[in-house]
């Protein structure tokens, strides 16, 4: 025979115990959430340096990049180096000068082949990229995955970041279709990391924006290069992809796109060939800083850079 108060006791115990379990579960969830937040990696801070032009551009990188890294706690620095050697192309020597100044990865573009020594870079330097959409069999690589360490995080493991270099086709040498290749390559890179930076080296604004819109939500940032004129349309698209049509250029701005003014004007006046020397005055480091959420790969902040040497 059951004790007289058995059912009442069990019912009372049940009414009290179930809410208590719910409260404990909420407390545990709150504590776990706080613990996760405490070890969450701080936003990855990336600096992209616009087209480095000649010795003045390399000098700006050498003097300003270490300062910028310290001042902004930068995690990774990427630069477009296709004009680093005398304003046309790049060599192993000029590349090493830029890398030793604090640049982690370099991209390029249509001036890739202007110096014959570039073949050595393409064969031996994994930190140097050429546009992905060159035909199969072209030396070098169009993308790379690089390990960086974020000293601001309690998590000491390295963070993977992918860099993808593309070249447009409108008013440019005709290469493979960058839109088709980008889709497949981004999917491949996302198998390893969600933090993906794209240098879209192109002439046409519409081609740059179209690429960024297509990749919105799939990459962290798409930044345009090639035209050497910094645009003022920095933004973060709805999917979380940061965008800037053109990052400008790093080098002498008392010039025509980095070259001495008079020979360029004379070329337009006479249609006769001229020698375009790299200019020297008013040297600026231009580019863009982007903060990226490590967990999602989405951009949380974008800011143009234009700093006088």
| 8 Å CB contact between 36 and 76 | no
The residues, any chain, with a CB within 8 Å of residue 206's CB and separated by 6 or more, are: 170
Q: Over the stretch 171-189, which tens digit does the pLDDT of each residue have?
A: 999 999 999 999 999 999 9
pLDDT band at 36 (very low <50, low <70, confident <90, very high): very low
**pLDDT recorded at residue 9:** 47
Are 130 and 142 in contact, with CB atoms under 8 Å apart?
Answer: yes
What is the structure's pLDDT at 151? 56
Instruction: Tell whether the model's pLDDT for residue 35 goes beyond 50.
Output: no
**Are 47 and 287 spatial neighbours (Cβ–Cβ below 8 Å)?**
yes
**pLDDT for the residue 148:** 82
Q: For the whole model, what pTM was predicted?
A: 0.85
Q: Looking at residues 19-32, what average pLDDT do you find?
A: 50
Alpha helices for 73-204 (secondary structure H): 92-99, 118-124, 178-189
Q: Which residues of 107-146 are buried (b: 16+ CB within 10 A; e: fewer)?
A: bbbbbbebbeebeebbeebebbbbbbbbeeebebebbbbb
Residues in Cβ contact with 84 at an 8 Å cutoff, skipping those fewer than 6 apart: 52, 53, 54, 57, 58, 90, 91, 94, 95, 97, 98
Confidence of residue 1 (pLDDT cuts 50, 70, 90): very low
pLDDT given at position 10: 56
Nearest to 225 by CA among 185, 190, 257, 260: 257
Share of the chain above pLDDT 70, in %: 84
Mean pLDDT of 44-53: 97
The position carrying tokens 């995080």 is 153
First to last CA, the chain: 94
Cα dist. 299→6, 47, 218, 225, 241 in Å?
Answer: 61, 13, 11, 19, 6
Please identify every residue annotated as catalytic.
111
Mean residue pLDDT across the chain: 89
* Under 8 Å between Cβ of 177 and 211: no
User: Given this model, what pLDDT does residue 159 score?
Assistant: 85
Convert the pLDDT of each residue in 138-160 to its tens digit: 999 999 999 986 555 544 567 89
């Amino acid at each position: 025979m059951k004790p007289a108060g058995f059912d009442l006791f069990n019912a009372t115990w049940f009414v009290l115990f179930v809410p208590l379990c719910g409260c404990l579960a909420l407390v545990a969830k709150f504590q776990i959430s706080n613990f996760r937040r405490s070890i969450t990696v701080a936003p990855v801070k990336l600096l992209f340096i616009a087209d480095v032009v000649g010795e003045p551009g390399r000098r700006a990188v050498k003097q300003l990049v270490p300062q910028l890294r310290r001042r902004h706690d930068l995690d990774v620095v990427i630069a477009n180096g296709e004009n680093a050697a005398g304003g046309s192309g790049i060599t192993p020597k000029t590349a090493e000068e830029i890398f030793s100044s604090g640049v982690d990865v370099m991209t390029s573009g249509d001036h890739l082949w202007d110096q014959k020594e570039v073949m050595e870079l393409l064969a031996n330097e994994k930190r140097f990229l050429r546009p992905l959409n060159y035909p199969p069999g072209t030396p070098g690589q169009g993308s790379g995955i690089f390990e960086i360490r974020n000293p601001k995080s309690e998590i000491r493991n390295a963070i993977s970041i992918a860099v993808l270099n593309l070249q447009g086709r409108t008013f440019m040498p005709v290469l493979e279709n960058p839109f088709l290749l980008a889709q497949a390559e981004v999917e491949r890179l996302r198998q390893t990391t969600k933090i993906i930076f794209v240098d879209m080296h192109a002439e046409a604004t519409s081609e740059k924006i179209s690429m960024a819109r297509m990749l919105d939500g799939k990459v962290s940032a798409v930044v345009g290069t090639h035209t050497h004129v910094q645009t003022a349309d920095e933004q973060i698209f709805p999917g979380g992809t940061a965008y800037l049509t053109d990052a400008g250029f790093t080098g002498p701005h008392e010039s025509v796109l980095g070259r001495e003014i008079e020979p360029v004007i004379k070329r337009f006046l006479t249609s006769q060939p001229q020698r375009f020397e790299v200019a020297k005055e008013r040297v600026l480091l231009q580019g863009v800083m982007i903060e990226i959420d490590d967990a999602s790969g989405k951009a949380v902040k974008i800011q143009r850079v234009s700093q006088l040497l």
